[in-house]
């Protein structure tokens, strides 16, 4: 059995909420790559994007992932764009039990609307941007040991399904 679980998926698919719940159930530590980057840099994700640009953010994301996966008994919620790098995809695939979360663009739109910390979605026409990014990233999330649609399920139900597959 792999000693870490990772959650991959587009923004707003429920990675952090479900990840936190799995960690609590299993007595694992919960880690979120975005929070890890924010703590390391002392800046928010939005600040990193504006002052350093997306390329530097992606480099940081890769560095942090390499650190995180050396740990044991962790549930790792990843940033939605972590899968853009083949190195990241391979690292996650080989060292963690990968949970891929999906949702329709409409669900993603409503879930991400409430929070303004997603620099890639901007404020103008976020639904259009979501659809564009989903199209650009087509197939990149498809390496989960388990794939679940989170639109119509409750966090507790999804947690149970994931733990059942993991054990």
Q: Binding residues for ligand S3P, per CB under 6 A? A: 11, 15, 34, 45, 79-81, 118-120
Q: How far is the CB of 1 from ligand S3P (least distance, A)?
A: 26
Does 58 carry a binding-site annotation? yes
Pairing outcome for strands 4-9 and 29-32: unpaired
Does 20 carry a binding-site annotation? no
C-beta of 1 vs 52, nearer to ligand S3P? 52
Helix (H) or strand (E) holding 146: strand 146-149
Q: Residue 31 forms beta bridges with which residues?
A: 76
C-beta of 159 vs 164, nearer to ligand S3P? 159
Q: How far is the CB of 15 from ligand S3P (least distance, A)?
A: 6
Q: How far is the CB of 167 from ligand S3P (least distance, A)?
A: 26
Does 89 carry a binding-site annotation? no
Does 111 carry a binding-site annotation? no
Residues in the chain, total: 167
Burial pattern 115-150, b for ≥16 Cβ within 10 A else e, equals eeebebbeeeebeebbeebeeeeeebbeebbeebeb
Q: Residue 97 forms beta bridges with which residues?
A: 5
Q: How far is the CB of 9 from ligand S3P (least distance, A)?
A: 7
C-beta of 12 vs 97, nearer to ligand S3P? 12
Burial pattern 45-79, b for ≥16 Cβ within 10 A else e, equals beebbeeeeeeebbebbbebbeebbeeeebbbbbb
Location of structure tokens 């794939």: 147
Does 16 carry a binding-site annotation? yes
Q: Alpha-carbon distance 82 to 87, whole Å?
A: 10
Q: How far is the CB of 158 from ligand S3P (least distance, A)?
A: 16
Does 145 carry a binding-site annotation? no
Instruction: Detail the residues annotated as belonging to a binding site for ATP.
Output: 12-17, 118
Annotated binding site for substrate: 34, 58, 80, 137
List binding-site positions. Answer: 12-17, 34, 58, 80, 118, 137
């Amino acid at each position: 059995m792999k000693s870490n679980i990772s959650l991959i998926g587009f923004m707003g698919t429920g990675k952090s909420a479900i990840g936190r719940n799995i960690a609590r159930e299993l007595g694992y530590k919960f880690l979120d790559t975005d929070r890890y980057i924010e703590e390391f840099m002392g800046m928010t994700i939005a600040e990193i994007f504006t002052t350093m640009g997306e390329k530097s953010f992606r480099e940081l994301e890769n560095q942090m992932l390499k650190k995180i996966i050396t740990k044991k008994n962790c549930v790792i919620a990843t940033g939605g764009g972590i899968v853009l790098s083949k190195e990241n995809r391979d690292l996650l695939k080989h060292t963690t039990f990968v949970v891929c979360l999906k949702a329709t663009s409409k669900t993603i739109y409503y879930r991400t609307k409430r929070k303004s910390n997603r620099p890639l979605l901007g404020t103008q026409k976020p639904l259009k941007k979501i659809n564009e990014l989903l199209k650009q990233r087509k197939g990149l999330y498809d390496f989960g040991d388990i794939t679940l649609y989170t639109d119509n399920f409750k966090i507790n139900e999804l947690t149970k399904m994931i733990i059942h597959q993991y054990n």
